[in-house]
Amino acid sequence: MLRSRITPCLLVHKNGLVKTVGFKDPKYVGDPINAVKIFNEKQVDELIVLDIDASVQGRGPDFELIRKLALECRMPLCYGGGVTTVEEAKKIISLGAEKVAISSAAIKNFELLSEIGKAVGIQSVVVVLDIKKTGFLGSYEIYIHNGKKATGIKVKDFVPRLAKIGIGELVINSIDGDGTMRGYDFSLVDMVRDLTEFPITILGGAGSLEDIKSAIKRYKIIGAAAGSLFVFRGKYRAVLINYPNILEKKELYR
Amino acid sequence: MSKNPQSLKVNDLKNSVRSYQVCTNCVMDTTDAKIVFDENGMCDHCKDFYDNVLPNWQTDEKGKAILNKVVEKIKAEGKGKDFDCILGMSGGVDSSYLLHLAVKELGLRPLVFHVDGGWNSELAVHNIQVLVEKLGLDLYTEVINWEEMKDFQLAFFKSGVPHIDIPQDHAFIATLYNFADKYKIKYILNGGNISTECVRNPMDWLYYGTDMAQIRDITERFGTVKMETYPFSPILRHKFYLRYLKGVQVVKPLNYMPYIKDKAAKLLADDYNWKPYPQKHFESRFTKFYEGYWLPERFGFDTRKVQYSSLILTNQLSREEALEKLKKPSFNQATINDEFNYVASKLGITPETLKEYFSMEKKFYFDYNNQVSIFKAGAKLLKYLGLERSIKR
Amino acid sequence: MIAIVNYGSGNIRAIANIYERLTLPHKIVSQPGELIGSEKIILPGVGAFDETISLLSHSGFRTVLDNEVLINKTPVLGICVGMQILGEQSEEGSLPGLGWIKGTVRKIDTNRIQSKPKIPHLGWNSIKALKANGMFNDVDEEQGFYFMHSFYFECNDENDVMSSTFYGTDFASAVNHQNIYGVQFHPEKSHENGITLLKNFAAI
């Protein structure tokens, strides 16, 4: 049986790993390479690594880092941050990542998705949408540049366009949920899921394995991603990489 | 013609003119250049243990009484606080067992403190997690900035000395003391123990991690980035200022009871799903590489000899068994290539550069500025005051 | 010596990395001539069918590969799209495949899949080994492998199906005909199971 994916998501900022709250206040949690090595040894389903500086600084992906990280991954690696061209996407795949995440570039240049899909295979194209609830009615809006820039584009208008071209995976990243560990925003997920047939990964808000369990229960097959949950422990937010072992995972799939 | 004492030392270490000899009682040998044997072939490590350590080592009711007194004091002073002491946790057997002991046997409420130097193994984080979880304790971590740590470690590689574990070691010590100082914590529980550590690493092998003169000299010569967040703590500060002026007390409970390493590891495995390490200090990937490969292969210093000798002196290992184990290399031949490449990748250098560091001219602590005389005087003073039993030399 | 064919497609580094860790002799082969005399061949591949088969054709490897695989009977393992091109054709493109195993690559029929997501088939899925050829020795079938694909291999001869996996329907997650092997999943990215499978292939 196909199982839901339980996916740690790591953020790269100034060469180090950080964890944010509401896309703000990055807390340093260590060096990416050793963290990825530990996650690999914990046999995580897959891993997402996002460089949160690249787009903001207007620079391309850090290929040397991607090469080093891919070398430590015996599970699929999805890399995002600063990808704006087909060539960059191709290079990322050739360095050993399985998936390329496109975020702000997908908003600015929608055609890019299909072009990259042609070059590396559409199943390797992952779109990451940073989403915030806005306005009186609380409609979901897409933000770019680490949640700093509103695009004015509604999620419900954008997702059908993705559904039309068909992508490998969509990561729904809730800015409101980021780092809060208060649980996923299921109403957002419900809405997006209704509009799509491709795999969805939800990110932002997971605070316990129970949160992941309830997502799996609700959607049967889903990608449940988390940052804080797999990096922090306890009330002092101690940095200690963790991930459910095989037995704990079986419990989550039940 | 007067002889320069420094060049004598250099000769000892660099040209080893001495013929090979191994202690008849433990497994220390002439790879420890300053080792001295008596007429029966017993080494000075053993003699020091039998003369100075053993007679004062109380693991019976007497020891228990001493420990209980300290424990009661810790509890009384900690009343009403979130925790009554702090415990530095690496995930290794000593600190893990100490944590179990402190909570389950002594009834203490420690804050578990872990310093992440960037080289944690999966085993280490797993072991910390299972203990903290099962004991329902709070964990506090400090993550050392990797860009600074990396540069610091590279500076030591470039210096050519054996003690390249100093950047890691110093950070562990300093962070803990700085934290205790900042939050006015009076008691630090420490897993250090006579039972498994009574033979100390010779100074030529593992030099003092808190010699600021040495650290400054090496980082000034070979470092490239500014240490803005890396925690420093000069020895005088934590051994004297914090201890005697601020009253921060380091307690080593494992010294007041029988502590058998294998039994401790078994209990941890059975009760906590704790996973054992192939060798002491292997909870850090760096130390594993360093003690398992770098020291023995580049310098001929095999720290297992020190560890096994300790276990021999405390009757946990036979000398024959130790000699047998020492025949095998301390690193895994199937994975060493991989490990070597990982260390290089992690340090941001090519494997070729790391190989260059491996084969460069060997240097020792005395090739750089140092405060060895202060350390020696301090050690003598501590011994005179009865605070420390064995002397590192 | 296991030759990993570098014709510009697939995660060559990850495969080499695993053999490196297993300390099994291997090399990444970028020139067709280097392929001659190798004991095993690995044919990786990601991306679209036509793109992949054209890359292979233009790389100059085709003649040598045909010779090594069909005449010298050197065991070959195709991975992901590297497996799909073992077939005769694909619904994804118009170019013919290598035709080493009789069959057609078809698009996953989303009508058969009851709930979302439907396509691509993404994530860890179990396998059921159907052939006792040693490839799945010590593999945890329940744990399975990582999949990431929208097309699958439909064998003409069901005896060529090496393992099946359920996704809406049972499909061939691995194929084998004589010395020719193919896996739809990514062994190079499937932790212990993947390492075991690559080790098994080396031992065939």
What's the complex ipTM?
0.95
Section B70-82 average pLDDT: 95
Which of B158, B216, B164, B206 has its CA nearest to residue B369? Answer: B216
The pairing of beta strand C89-90 with beta strand A99-102:
unpaired
Q: How far away is chain C from the Cα of A24, in angstroms, using its nearest Cα?
A: 31
Which two structure tokens, joined as six digits, stand for A96? 């050993």
Confidence band for B366, pLDDT divided at 50, 70 and 90: very high
- For residue B114, the chain A residues in CB contact (below 8 A) are 238, 240
Instruction: Please give the share of chain A, as a percent, with pLDDT higher than 90.
Output: 93
- For residue C20, the chain B residues in CB contact (below 8 A) are 337-338
How many other CB atoms sit within 10 Å of the CB of residue A171? 26
Long-range pairs for C10-13: beta carbons < 8 A, 24 or more residues apart: C10/C43, C10/C44, C10/C45, C10/C46, C10/C79, C10/C80, C10/C81, C10/C82, C11/A93, C11/A96, C11/A98, C11/C44, C11/C46, C11/C186, C11/C188, C11/C189, C12/C44, C13/A70, C13/A71, C13/A95, C13/A96
Instruction: Please give the share of chain A, as a percent, with pLDDT higher than 70.
Output: 100
- For residue C188, the chain A residues in CB contact (below 8 A) are 74
pLDDT digits (tens, 9 = 90+) for B343-365: 999 999 999 999 999 999 999 99
Which of B6, B50, B7, B14 has its CA nearest to residue B33? Answer: B14
Per the rule left: phi > 0, alpha: psi between -120 and 50, beta: everything else, A73 is: beta
Question: Cβ–Cβ of B334/C20 closer than 8 Å?
Answer: no
Instruction: Please give the share of chain B, as a percent, with pLDDT higher than 90.
Output: 77
Q: How far is CA A91 from CA A66, A87, A170, B2, C78, in A?
A: 10, 6, 21, 66, 22
Question: Cβ–Cβ of C46/A46 closer than 8 Å?
Answer: no
Which two structure tokens, joined as six digits, stand for C170? 């049972």
Confidence band for B1, pLDDT divided at 50, 70 and 90: very low
pLDDT digits (tens, 9 = 90+) for B195-234: 999 999 999 899 988 899 999 999 999 999 999 999 988 7
**Cβ proximity of A43 and A8 under 8 Å:** no
Residue with tokens 């979302």, as numbered in its chain: C116
Q: What is the dihedral of CA A145, A151, A154, A157, to 10 degrees?
A: -100
- For residue C123, the chain A residues in CB contact (below 8 A) are 2-5, 45-46, 199, 221, 223
| pTM for the predicted model, two decimal places | 0.93
Please state, in angstroms and rounded to a whole number, the distance separating the CA atoms of residues C143 and C147.
12
The secondary structure element, H or E, covering residue A99 is strand A99-102
**Cβ proximity of C100 and C86 under 8 Å:** yes
Please state, in angstroms and rounded to a whole number, the distance separating the CA atoms of residues B243 and B237.
8
Candidates A4, A98, A219: best to mutate against C (most CBs of C within 10 A) is: A98
Question: Cβ–Cβ of A236/B138 closer than 8 Å?
Answer: yes
pLDDT for C22 beyond 80:
yes
Q: What is the DSSP letter of B280?
A: T
Catalytic residues of A, by residue number, are 130
Averaged pLDDT of chain B: 90
Which of B13, B6, B10, B7 has its CA nearest to residue B205? Answer: B13
pLDDT digits (tens, 9 = 90+) for C111-128: 999 889 999 999 999 999
The contacts of residue C32 (CB under 8 Å, 6+ apart) are: C59, C60, C61, C63, C64, C65
B56-60, B374-378, C39-43, C165-169: segment of lowest average pLDDT: B374-378
Radius of gyration of chain B (CA): 21
Residue C187: what pLDDT?
97
Report, in this order, helix, strand and coil percent for chain C, each rounded to 5.
Answer: 30, 30, 40
How many other CB atoms sit within 10 Å of the CB of residue B34? 13
Which of A15, A62, A65, A10 has its CA nearest to residue B149? Answer: A15
pLDDT digits (tens, 9 = 90+) for C135-164: 999 999 999 999 999 999 999 999 999 999
Please state, in angstroms and rounded to a whole number, the distance separating the CA atoms of residues A151 and A58.
17
The contacts of residue C130 (CB under 8 Å, 6+ apart) are: C161, C162, C163, C164
What is the end-to-end Cα distance of chain B in Å, rounded? Answer: 28
Section C77-106 average pLDDT: 96
Please state, in angstroms and rounded to a whole number, the distance separating the CA atoms of residues A9 and A18.
11
Residue with tokens 């001659």, as numbered in its chain: C36
Section B295-302 average pLDDT: 96
A51-65, B188-202, B224-238, B331-345: segment of lowest average pLDDT: B224-238
pLDDT digits (tens, 9 = 90+) for C47-67: 889 989 999 999 999 999 999
Q: Cβ-count burial of A64 within 10 angstroms (0-12 exposed, 13-18 middle, 19+ buried)?
A: exposed
pLDDT digits (tens, 9 = 90+) for A81-122: 999 999 999 999 989 899 999 999 999 999 999 999 988 889
Q: Which of A38, A72, A236 lies closest to B125 in CB terms?
A: A38
Which of C130, C106, C122 has its CA nearest to residue C167? Answer: C122
Averaged pLDDT of chain A: 95
pLDDT digits (tens, 9 = 90+) for B227-253: 999 998 877 677 667 776 678 899 999
pLDDT for A170 beyond 60:
yes
**Cβ proximity of B225 and B151 under 8 Å:** yes
pLDDT for B384 beyond 90:
no
Indicate if the alpha-carbon torsion angle C155, C160, C164, C170 is positive or negative: positive
Residues comprising chain B, all counted:
393
Q: How many interchain CB pairs under 8 A, A with B?
A: 65
Confidence band for C107, pLDDT divided at 50, 70 and 90: very high
Residue C62: what pLDDT?
93
pLDDT digits (tens, 9 = 90+) for C130-143: 999 999 999 999 99
Section A119-144 average pLDDT: 92
Residue A132: what pLDDT?
96
Residue B10: what pLDDT?
44
Residue B9: what pLDDT?
45
**Cβ proximity of A34 and A253 under 8 Å:** no
pLDDT digits (tens, 9 = 90+) for B131-189: 999 999 999 999 999 999 999 999 999 999 999 999 999 999 899 988 988 888 999 99
Residue B13: what pLDDT?
55
Which two structure tokens, joined as six digits, stand for A49? 């690594």
Candidates B83, B143, B149: best to mutate against A (most CBs of A within 10 A) is: B143
**Cβ proximity of A230 and A181 under 8 Å:** no
Section A44-52 average pLDDT: 97
Which two structure tokens, joined as six digits, stand for B209? 């991690």
Section B11-30 average pLDDT: 80
Confidence band for B375, pLDDT divided at 50, 70 and 90: confident
Residue with tokens 């007390």, as numbered in its chain: B249
Q: How far away is chain B from the Cα of C25, in angstroms, using its nearest Cα?
A: 13
Confidence band for B388, pLDDT divided at 50, 70 and 90: low
Residue B15: what pLDDT?
52
The DSSP result for B68-94, as a single string, is HHHHHHHHHHHTTSS-SEEEE--SSHH
pLDDT for B280 beyond 90:
no
Confidence band for B3, pLDDT divided at 50, 70 and 90: very low
Residue B16: what pLDDT?
56
